[in-house]
Amino acid sequence: MMSVFALGLGLLTAFADSSSLVAAEVIRSGDPVTSYNATTEEGDNAIGDPLLGREVVRTVYAGKPITYENTRAPILVRRNQVVTVKYIKGGLEISATGRALGEAGLNESVTVLNQQSKQTVQGIVQENGWVLAQ
């Protein structure tokens, strides 16, 4: 188990250091990194870079580096958004509606208030914006 963690950490470090993107123009907080607003340090097109599609956390000014640390996965669930919460165990699937108490992107944790029971649950945001309860 520890070797899998070490491998994942090593890949994350390699991923974080692999990009040499710089902002071609001012990219405001929450805006996605695109091939139009980012280029490589050499001035080449950024198509295919793993940072494309991620959102910047803070404003990045023209000529400044875009890194894994100053970007995040696009937000799929926003605070106070009504979401579907699902609990899945084997063949059993229970669905309910809830209100998100924070923001989260794909595979990020979010707290949701179940609107029927008024209980909070933790869950992981899935691709279509629904939350898998843990």
Q: Is 59 helix (H, G, I), strand (E, B) or coil?
A: coil
Domain end call among 47, 72, 97: 72
| Shared-domain flag, residues 66 and 87 | no
| Shared-domain flag, residues 84 and 113 | yes
| Shared-domain flag, residues 64 and 83 | no
Residue 27 to residues 21, 44, 68, 98, 115: CA-CA distances in angstroms?
12, 18, 15, 33, 37
| Shared-domain flag, residues 104 and 49 | no
Left (φ > 0), alpha (ψ -120 to 50) or beta: where does 66 sit? beta
Q: Indicate the number of domains in the chain.
A: 2
C-alpha to C-alpha distance for 18 and 31, rounded to whole angstroms: 21
Query: Percent of the chain scored above 90 by pLDDT?
Result: 64
92: pLDDT confidence band, cut at 50, 70 and 90? very high
The residue segments making up the domain with residue 18 are 2-72
In this predicted model, what pLDDT tens digit does every residue of 20-34 receive, in sequence order?
Answer: 889 999 999 999 999
| Shared-domain flag, residues 6 and 46 | yes
Determine which of 23-27, 37-41, 103-107 has the lowest per-residue pLDDT on average.
37-41
